[in-house]
């Protein structure tokens, strides 16, 4: 009998291939001590609220009052008054009819796309009248939902599309005409158009107003992931849908993260009552998951109140991002103009991005390093994130680190190496 295959041997071979391509990853746990002398340009704590005393105090009080964990799923014992207050205040802040809190935005994306696609199909089968602008006749014609997804969407949206029992068309990044065409030629009566507003792996902004126009004309629903926009983009950090004046539109569904600018943990969906109702009844990530822990819900609520009370926080963060981008440009580095807090310095080669991250660390600057699959092949980058609370000393440290990165990039490029 031949020896059975050794699965771990295959895993080692795959790990070797990843390492050879510069794509291995490792964990670098941080301790709880204050990071004196370290400039954090890597975290998503855009407003510096993760350690704000009102936020941490609210989390501690909630842990004492409700317990460390939620004790059950939302529909069993996991919904507390903290969750319902957070949902009410999030809906008001986002100018939405309703909001629903999840244990993560990743899960909120999965639940939203899969449950909406399934319910749109079920609605057609149950004899709902056809959408007047849609191509299907809704009466004996084809039944189904098309999901149109931007090619640079976050992994959680990619996975959501994969899990949705629907045909998915991936369209070129920020290509409104491609979305319009996909909608126009579809045989399915229903459609979802799925995009980030502030792209996490590039920092650019989606053409949201135009996307909404073509989505509405095509009889679809626009699902907007505002994970990196909440607290940073739009009036008072209300997101890009608010900036475009489409926040209250019934065909706009927003997913936000409570784990980034709010400095807490979790996610939420904001939209029409029909949308949140669909998720309560059939969102698998809502029903079959332990609810967001009460300390996280309380922290998010406290942070949301701080954001709502200070419209300048979002402006400061965006201004600091533009300042970081111009520092990088001054040293000849290629930067995508930031629309939110994220500043991506494109380096191309994943190994170069890893080296740039190490150079930053050597200068006391924590920077992110995005490589495939977070970005397309050939577009690895150093990813810097601005914070509302960045100090002059931190900008100085960033400038020195970026100057050293630029020197390394020049010396590593064929043209740079030829220089005397
Ligand atoms: C665009 C985008 N959507 C969703 C998520 C998931 O958010 P969370 O960490 O709250 O699950 C992320 C996280 O990185 C993200 O960047």
Number of H helices, E strands in the chain: 15, 12
Question: Residues 116-154, buried b or exposed e (16+ Cβ, 10 A)?
Answer: bbbbbbebbeeeeebbeebbbebeeeebbbbbbbbebbb
- ω before 373 within 30° of 0 (cis)? yes
Which of 198, 230, 260 most suits a substitution to test ligand 1, by most atoms within 8 Å of the C-beta?
260
For the Cβ of 226 lying below 6 angstroms from any atom of ligand 1, the answer is no
368 within ligand 1 shell (Cβ under 6 A): no
Are 208 and 340 spatial neighbours (Cβ–Cβ below 8 Å)?
no
Q: Ligand 1 pocket test: which of 227, 267, 303, 340 has the largest number of ligand atoms within 8 Å of its C-beta?
A: 227
Q: How many Å lie between the centroid of ligand 1 and the Cα of residue 221?
A: 21
Q: Which of the listed residues 102, 152, 257 should we mutate to test ligand 1's pocket, taking the one with most ligand atoms within 8 A of CB?
A: 257
User: Are 228 and 241 within 8 A, CB to CB?
Assistant: no
pLDDT given for residue 419 in this prediction: 45
Instruction: Decide whether any atom of ligand 1 lies within 6 Å of the 153 Cβ.
Output: no
Q: Which two tokens stand for residue 4?
A: 């059975």
Q: Which of 90, 156, 173, 239 to mutate to test the pocket of ligand 1 (most atoms within 8 A of CB)?
A: 156
Residue 224 Cα to ligand 1 midpoint, Å, equals: 12
Q: What's the CA angle centered on 332, arms 328 and 334, to 5 degrees?
A: 70
* 324 closest CA partner among 315, 337, 314, 313: 337
Distances (CA, A) of 106 to 147, 234, 256, 403: 18, 22, 10, 35
The pTM assigned to this predicted structure is: 0.94
Distance from residue 319's CA to the centre of ligand 1 (Å): 23
267 lines ligand 1 (CB under 6 A): yes
Distance of CA 13 from the midpoint of ligand 1 (Å)? 30
Please count the other Cβ atoms lying within 10 Å of the Cβ belonging to residue 74: 23
- The gap from C-alpha 277 to its chain's centroid, in whole angstroms, comes to 23
The minimum-distance atom of ligand 1 relative to the CA of 198 is 1
Angle subtended by helix axes 312-330 and 392-412, to nearest 10: 30
Q: Is the CB of 156 under 6 A from ligand 1?
A: yes
**Cα angle value 154/59/197 (rounded, 5°):** 20
What is the DSSP code string of 197-259? SB-TTT--B--HHHHHHHHHHTT-EEEEE-TTTTTTSSGGG--HHHHTT-TT-TTEEEEEESS
pLDDT, one tens digit for every residue, the chain (420 residues): 888 889 999 999 999 999 998 888 889 888 876 566 899 999 999 999 999 999 999 999 999 999 999 999 999 999 999 999 999 999 999 999 999 999 999 999 999 999 999 999 999 988 776 555 444 444 456 789 999 999 999 999 999 999 999 999 999 999 999 999 999 999 999 999 999 999 998 879 999 999 999 999 999 999 999 999 999 999 999 999 999 999 999 999 999 999 999 999 999 999 999 999 999 999 999 999 999 999 999 999 999 999 999 999 999 999 999 999 999 999 999 998 999 999 999 999 999 999 999 999 999 999 999 999 889 899 999 999 999 999 999 999 999 999 999 999 999 876 654 443
200 CB within 6 A, ligand 1: yes
Residue with the nearest Cα to atom 7 of ligand 1?
Answer: 105
Q: In residues, how long is the chain?
A: 420
Q: Pairing mode, if any, of strands 98-102 and 267-271?
A: antiparallel
Cα of 367 to ligand 1 centre, how many Å? 18
Ligand 1 center from residue 106 Cα (angstroms): 5
Closest Cα partner for 62 from 258, 265, 295, 303? 295
Asked whether 307 and 47 are in contact (CB, 8 A), the reply is yes
**Strand intervals (E) in 6-154:** 39-41, 98-102, 145-150
User: Cα 172–177–182 angle (5° rounding)?
Assistant: 75
- What does the DSSP assignment read for 277-301? HHHHHH-HHHHTSBPPPHHHHHHHH
- What is the rounded CA–CA span in Å between residue 144 and residue 193? 14
């Amino acid at each position: 009998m031949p020896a059975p295959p050794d699965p771990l041997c295959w895993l080692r071979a795959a790990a070797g291939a990843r390492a050879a391509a510069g794509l291995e990853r490792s964990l670098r746990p941080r301790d709880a001590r204050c990071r004196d002398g370290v400039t954090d340009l890597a975290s998503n704590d855009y407003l510096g609220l993760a350690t704000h005393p009102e936020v941490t105090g609210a989390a501690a009080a909630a842990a004492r009052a409700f317990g460390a964990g939620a004790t059950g799923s939302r529909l069993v014992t996991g919904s507390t008054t903290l969750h319902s207050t957070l949902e009410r205040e999030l809906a008001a802040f986002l100018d939405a009819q309703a909001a629903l809190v999840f244990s993560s935005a990743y899960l909120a994306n999965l639940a939203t796309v899969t449950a909406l696609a399934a319910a749109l199909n079920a609605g057609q089968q149950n004899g709902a009248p056809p959408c007047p602008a849609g191509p299907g006749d809704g009466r004996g014609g084809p039944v189904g939902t098309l999901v149109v997804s931007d090619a640079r969407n976050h992994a959680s949206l990619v996975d959501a599309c994969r899990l949705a029992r629907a045909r998915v068309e991936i369209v070129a990044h920020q290509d409104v005409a491609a979305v319009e065409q996909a909608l126009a030629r579809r045989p399915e009566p229903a459609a979802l158009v799925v995009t980030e507003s502030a792209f996490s792996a590039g920092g650019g902004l989606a053409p949201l107003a135009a996307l909404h126009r073509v989505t509405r004309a095509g009889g679809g629903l626009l699902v907007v992931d505002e994970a990196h926009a909440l607290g940073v983009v739009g009036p008072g950090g209300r997101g890009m849908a608010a900036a475009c004046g489409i926040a209250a539109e019934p065909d706009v569904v927003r997913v936000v993260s409570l784990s980034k600018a709010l400095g807490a943990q979790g996610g939420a969906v904001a939209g029409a009552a029909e949308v949140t109702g669909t998720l309560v009844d059939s969102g698998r990530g809502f029903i079959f998951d332990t609810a967001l822990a009460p300390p996280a819900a309380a922290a998010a609520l406290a942070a949301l109140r701080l954001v709502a009370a200070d419209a300048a926080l979002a402006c400061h963060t965006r201004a600091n991002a533009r300042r970081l981008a111009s520092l990088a440009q001054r040293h000849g580095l290629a930067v995508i103009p930031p629309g939110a807090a994220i500043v991506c310095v494109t380096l191309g080669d994943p190994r170069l991005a890893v080296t740039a991250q190490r150079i930053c660390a050597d200068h006391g600057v924590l920077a992110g390093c995005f490589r495939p699959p977070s970005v397309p092949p050939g577009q690895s980058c150093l990813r810097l994130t601005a914070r509302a609370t960045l100090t002059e000393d931190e900008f100085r440290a960033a400038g020195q680190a970026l100057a050293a990165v630029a020197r390394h990039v020049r010396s590593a490029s064929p043209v740079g190496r030829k220089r005397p």
